Amino acid sequence: MAAPPIAITPPNQATKVALVSVLLICGVLASVLYVAMNVFIPLQWQGYSFASQVISELSAIDAPTRWLWVPLGIAYGLLMVAFGWGVWVSGRGNRPLRIAGALIFIYSIIGLAWPPMHQREVVAAGGATLTDTLHIVWSAAWVAFMLASLAFGAAGFGKRFRRYSIATLATLVVFGMLTFVDAPKLSTNLPTPLIGVWERIQIGVVIVWDVVLALALLRMQGTTPRPADKPSLAGAAR
């Protein structure tokens, strides 16, 4: 009895799958790097409060941690740009997922050119400049593209991932409102006892969502069927 034929992945296809997998892994690496930055860098600033200070203060003009945050932040941004590209390529044939990848790519580019704020004491003393205004504009644009990427990512998968994405969006809305209430106090140097907590919860759920998305797409990369019997990404994630 003859042995069954062995399925061999064409070299070009294998190379493409490997490249896309590397791009998706960049999303996981970016998340790990950002968590490490938020744990290690604040420790280099004596007196910095995780609870009462926002993440942007770590890269503020004349902040003692700016020299360390900026290069690592650029590395994070580049990894996220690669991840967005990987999501876009993985979404071939799935329009919502393609849009999600494009939006991740765009907001990651925005993050690479984020204007810094001044330290809150300087702003309260009237030392704010154009860069402080642009910091707020960039923040609003980043949030808008990020929320849109979550919405389109949710639409590109099945029910479980969609429900998870909705829970993520709900969390962002709740803690975003808490952050919004405290944000004006930064410019007047009033106490903001929990603004850092609210913001880090928001960043945390986004980071976890990125990792879940990357792992889901990596799993599908490893089980890519022949074109003739390829299922939709939405069905694969049910």
> Closest Cα partner for 176 from 211, 206, 138?
206
pLDDT digits (tens, 9 = 90+) for 25-42: 999 999 999 999 999 999
**pLDDT the model gives residue 1:** 46
Contact 73, 67 (CB under 8 A): no
What's the mean pLDDT in 122-134?
Answer: 96
List 118's β-bridge partners, or say none: 61
Q: Is the pLDDT of residue 87 over 80?
A: yes
For the chain, how long is the longest CA-to-CA vector?
87
Cα angle value 201/202/208 (rounded, 5°): 85
What's the mean pLDDT in 84-103?
Answer: 95
CA dist 142 to 13, 63, 103, 108, 234, Å? 34, 22, 10, 8, 26
What's the mean pLDDT in 210-237?
Answer: 65
**pLDDT the model gives residue 158:** 86
**Cα-Cα-Cα-Cα dihedral sign, residues 156, 159, 163, 164:** negative
